[in-house]
Amino acid sequence: MPVWLREYSWRQSGSAVYLSLPLRGLRVTPANIFCTDQYLKVSIPPFLFEAVLYAPIDDTNSTAKIGNGVIFFTLYKKEVAMWDSLTLANANKETLQYLRENAVLKAHEKAKEETEAKKVTKQEHKKYALEATMKLEEAERKRIEDLKEKERQKVTKELELWKKQQEDAEKQKQVQKEEKLHQEVEQLKEKKKEKINKTGISNEGTSKTRLKPTKGCHGSNSMFSENLKEEQLPAPRSAATIKINFTSRVFPTALRESRITEEEEWLHKQAEARRTISADLSELQDLKEEEKNPDWLKDKGNKMFATGNYLAAVNAYNLAVRLNNKLPLLYLNRAACHLKLRNLHKAIEDSSKALELLTPLVPDNENARVKAYVRRGTAFCQLELYTEGLQDYEAALKIDPKNKTIEKDAEKIRHLIQGTMQDS
């Protein structure tokens, strides 16, 4: 329940009403005051003052002054008349309610209208500003264009002038040359006559006819100058060759072709592989020092393979793998041994493992990869899985297209496949 403020005093003139409302100690802000054309309310919770006015007022122009513990309202009447009292006397509850609600609605509408109006003006202002900037920019652009045009025209004129000069100069030169030519031909004729008398051969004459015609009407004059000049020019250089080397890189590719990241990865992997020792040391304590070195074991294995002792080679590679299972070459070589021993499935397994370890694909491990594909292909073919075998041979061919043996073998497999298909 609000506390009603009823201590107010008012006086009026013909056109205005002056209302003073004391508020002891209360802080008032404009938000607490609500006024429409026939309703006035001041609400500072829990205090409330409300008045349904006797006659409508002009609420847009009316003012409220807050200060000194008092609100002083100056309400301008819509109609000039003297009020009997500030508020409507016979205001019952319903009318009051109705009036109140009406007032609120009206206030809302007013607020809406105001915002609308504001929006519209804002839009217009923006448009105007935009147009102004556009005009400025246009002007700037035009100015630059004009400057450029002027330059262009100036330059074109100069060019035309220069061209004319060139042409005039050329014409002059031609005229001069023709005169000279005429003179020299005369001289030559005289000389020729003399020479014929002496030797009977006229070299200059023949050389004149043999030299190809030169540009335009410069004709024979230039031949004379050529002859003279050639005597002054040094003889052609004696032929020589300079041998050059190109900058070497770890991987010989230029920067734009380089697959640096992959190559680095490959180098890194190799380095890592060499360092890991994955075996269980306890079992291997009774081995000699050198037998614990996977590389040494690999060499041993290779030697035994070369002599034909495939089982021993497999043993050596097995031990090496137990020591270090990241070296692709071990698996590769073991695959070769298994092939020879006709352990085809094991050969396929080992070639596959080798191929797995030979990633990323770089030119460095091309050789190894070709071998792995060929071995696996052979194993497949011996198991009569010709299609898989052909796939591997083709993969090998893709890496090394110039290898004739691989090509021939691939062809053979293709024929075999076609043969079996025809039979079945």
Partner 1 sequence: MSAAGPAGPQLVVHVQHALTYTLFDCKWVPRSARLLCLGSAARGTGLLQLYELQGGRLALLREIEKAEPIKCGTFGATSLQQRYLATGGFGGNLNIWNLEAPEIPVYSVKGHKEIINSIDGVGGLGVGEGAPEIVTGSRDGTVKVWDPRQKDTPVANMEPVQGESKRDCWTVAFGNAYNQEERVVCAGYDNGDIKLFDLKTMSLRWETNIKNGVCSVEFDRKDVNMNKLVATSLEGKFHVFDMRTQHPTKGFASVSEKAQKSTIWQVRHLPQNRDIFMTSGGAGSLHLWKYEYPSQRLKKDSEGAEMGVAGSVSLLQNVTLSTQPISSLDWSPDKKGLCVCGAFDQTVRVLIVTKLNKV
**DSSP for 283-333, written as a single string:** GGGGS-TGGG-HHHHHHHHHHHHHHT-HHHHHHHHHHHHHH-TT-HHHHHH
70 and 9 Cβ atoms separated by less than 8 Å: no
Determine the interface stretch with partner 1 among 198-206, 228-236, 297-305, 400-408 (rule: CB under 8 A): 228-236
| Contact set for partner 1, span 193-212 (CB under 8 A) | 212
Tokens 């009026």 belong to 12
Residue with Cβ nearer partner 1 (68 or 232): 232
215 forms part of the interface with partner 1 (CB under 8 A): yes
308 forms part of the interface with partner 1 (CB under 8 A): no
SS3 string, 118-186, reads HHHHHHHHHHHHHHHHHHHHHHHHHHHHHHHHHHHHHHHHHHHHHHHHHHHHHHHHHHHHHHHHHHHHH
Size of the site for partner 1 (CB under 8 A): 44
Q: How far is the CB of 267 from partner 1 (least distance, A)?
A: 20
144 forms part of the interface with partner 1 (CB under 8 A): yes
| Contact set for partner 1, span 153-172 (CB under 8 A) | 154-156, 159-160, 162-163, 166, 170
Residue with Cβ nearer partner 1 (13 or 258): 258
Cα distances (Å, whole numbers) of residue 74 to 12, 13, 38, 44, 71: 10, 11, 14, 20, 10
In the list 95, 213, 311, 408, the residue contacting partner 1 (rule: CB under 8 A) is 213
Residue with Cβ nearer partner 1 (124 or 149): 149
228 forms part of the interface with partner 1 (CB under 8 A): no
220 forms part of the interface with partner 1 (CB under 8 A): no
Determine the interface stretch with partner 1 among 9-17, 120-128, 229-237, 348-356 (rule: CB under 8 A): 229-237
**DSSP for 347-374, written as a single string:** HHHHHHHHHHHT-S--GGGHHHHHHHHH
186 and 145 Cβ atoms separated by less than 8 Å: no
In the list 214, 227, 276, 420, the residue contacting partner 1 (rule: CB under 8 A) is 214
Residue with Cβ nearer partner 1 (122 or 173): 173
d(Cα 9, Cα 86) in Å, to the nearest integer? 10
233 forms part of the interface with partner 1 (CB under 8 A): yes
In the list 100, 106, 218, 326, the residue contacting partner 1 (rule: CB under 8 A) is 218
| Contact set for partner 1, span 254-273 (CB under 8 A) | 254-256
Q: Is 30 exposed, middle or buried (0-12, 13-18, 19+ CB in 10 A)?
A: exposed
Query: What is the maximum span of the chain, computed from C-alpha positions, in angstroms?
Result: 156
Give the residues lining the site for partner 1 (CB under 8 A): 144, 147-148, 151-152, 154-156, 159-160, 162-163, 166, 170, 212-216, 218, 222, 225-226, 229, 233-247, 252-256
